[in-house]
Amino acid sequence: MKVETRKTIPYPDQKPGTSGLRKKVKVFRQPHYLENFVQAVFDVLGAISGKTLVLGGDGRYFNREALQIIVKMAAANGAGRLIIGQGGLLSTPAASCLIRKYQTLGGFILSASHNPGGPDEDFGIKYNATNGGPAPESFTNAVFARTLEISEYRVADLPDLDLDRTGETQWGSMSVRIIDPVEDYAGLMEELFDFKLISQSLKVGALTVCFDAMHAITGPYARRILEDRLGAAAGSVINAIPKEDFGGGHPDPNLVHAHALAELMNAPGAPVLGAASDGDGDRNMIMGARFFVTPSDSLAILAANAHLLPGYREGLCGVARSMPTSQAVDRVAHAMGIDCYETPTGWKFFGNLLDARKITLCGEESFGTGSDHVREKDGLWAVLFWLNLIAVKKQPVAEIVREHWRRFGRDYYSRHDYEDVDSSAAEGIMTHLRGQLADLPGKRFGSYKVAFADDFRYEDPIDGSISEKQGVRIGFDNGSRMVFRLSGTGTEGATLRIYLERYERAPENHGLDTQESLAELIALAESLSEVKQRSAMAAPTVIT
């Protein structure tokens, strides 16, 4: 096998965000751009001779081309074996499952998650560590530093690999195994959930489901598990064929982008459960007939009922949520006598807690929930959890949620996104907010009195690492909150997210419209941030 060493020059913009490096396809297709980043990862990893890596992605545009480049670079850098999903496909949670099951050094996941795909849209790459989770900041910071000084990379002179034929082959000095991307993951799901009970409920018609795969990676997974193994009616999985451009859609499972599912679930004769997942399969949206479950409520309900499901009958070690996620799960943890951790946004922050067995369940308000079965959020896992829960409780989704509210109270919660804001304007909004923090405590705004105001700082309880400026928090003496932060998952401009939360204990007040219930907080958040004036936007782009 001939190995070429090719000269290159650094690119200054390869700093990974909360979920790896994400840019437009045209950026990744610049000469040596992808190669620089991949070589930087190999350089930081050090000796990978004889080691095994997992490789796959969500099937978006440029996925196959990028895979071929990485295969040849892995061979040139001495990797002993690659495990690759057939067709180059692996959902993000399935990749984590494989890394953990086969105890590999880690793996490359090619995805820009919920971002659009296509020649003019987004692509992404991230490295997941040996625990199956996103590499920690210490690693990604080292990779970024290496990209700023890189001068050459190594690539093997090999023909392209046949990604579509399963089996093991020798590729240069490296062994390559092309596997069914679903089988190992499906087996893990069967260990965690009562497939027999779910199947029986589907068979007698007590449980019906519609899963919108949004022409993304979970289509094959959902068809195999929901329809083939569990016996859901043919066609229960819609938009099931992965496409490079996600069928021209935006693979983000929310009420705006999963509009076909939302319309179905609000129509007469809706299925018992409606669900959707995103581009790489790590997010989920849960709906009942004419009822939307917020991700924050979903996390809390799963925590409160986990003991009813086979994989969690021994109880939970603890739970964790990202800082902007509502405090609903905190109340469950308090009632159960277990710890609840508040982390910055980004799944990598849950990894240390999971590895140290401090937590069993975790979640983010951005439609992500997961457990200690992998080290990623897992969309289809959450759907199966809900299916199992409905089969056990024999209640519709809306009643399960309302029963939970009666026990723990309701956190009215919403997120207002201002997308594609000019980056300098977005930073100006955050600077303006930070300038007010010292003076806000004790001030009263209508029926809200400020109890605290800060810029969230996180000290990891396991390794002691510090993460600064993770979002501006303003808390009120009645338990309500508002949070402001810039998203790290976009590729152009900036997305300002405003999170609003109001707690209501009285059951007679649990049936209010969310936006009306939060109206006073919304107006206050807009006033304090001056978001409309500074962004030149009349309204949020998306409200969830």
Active site residues: 113
Which structure tokens are listed for 465? Answer: 């690492």
Q: Which residues of 12-36 are buried (b: 16+ CB within 10 A; e: fewer)?
A: eebebbbbbbbbbbebbeeebbbbb
Token pair belonging to 362: 């975790």
Q: Within 10 Å of residue 229's Cβ, how many Cβ atoms?
A: 16
Residues with Cβ within 8 Å of 61's Cβ and at least 6 positions away in sequence, in order, are 25, 117, 118, 119, 121, 123, 244, 245
Q: How far is CA 329 from CA 26, 71, 339, 351, 419, in A?
A: 41, 42, 10, 19, 28
Integer Cα distance of 390 and 397 in angstroms: 7
Measure the CA–CA gap between 407 and 508, rounded to whole angstroms. 13
Report how far residue 470's alpha carbon sits from residue 322's, in angstroms, rounded to the nearest whole number. Answer: 10
Tally of residues, the chain: 544
Q: Quick one: which H or E segment has residue 269? A: none
The answer to whether 20 touches 134, Cβ cutoff 8 Å, is yes
